[in-house]
Amino acid sequence: MRNSLICTAIAFSSFSLSASACPDYLNTEMRKLGSKEVINFCETYQDKPLFIVNTASNCGYTHQLTGLEQLHQKYESQGLVVLGFSSDDFFQEEDNEEDAAEVCFGKYEVTFPVMATSSVRGDTANPVFKALGEAKGYPRWNFSKYIVSADGEVVAKFRSDVSPDSPKIRATLASVLEQ
């Protein structure tokens, strides 16, 4: 009986340690765009580097979805997770969620997860973007990009006009993936 209690205590403390390793801002759930599926970020992405971008279907930068998909395809095997966050904060997202999903998943054939439309700046920002904004500044436009290390540190922010295949983004990703 005593050995059983010790093993239970060890297992519980191991679970508590790993559960606490996930940063608070990722300890949230959000629904995927055009889906009923809900993703718990800690359960799904804990200990993985993240490339996070706020997206919109009717923006001059929407074509960057192609480059984001290429990043996803290139670095997924190394553990990188590309995450899109649909947002209408700049009034360039489809009013109908199914139409926004069609742009992402149909027209641009995106296979990385894109979250349902939510706010990405200010007091109404979703928890992930609230933390990103506080750490490196809120998005000033659609397709702002953030790189987050596997331990949850917000490493870098890139403006909308910085292409997903830019040398600066590739270098930052390389350093994060080496950790």
Active site residues: 59
CB 155, CB 176: distance < 8 Å? yes
Q: What are the residues whose beta carbons fall under 8 Å from the beta carbon of 59, sequence distance 6 or more?
A: 90, 92, 141, 142, 143
Rounded CA separation 80/148 (Å): 10
Q: Which amino acid is at 75?
A: Y
CA angle at 49 for the pair 47 and 52, rounded to the nearest 5°: 125
DSSP string, 56-107: -TTSTTTTHHHHHHHHHHHHGGGT-EEEEEE--TTS-S-SSHHHHHIIIIII
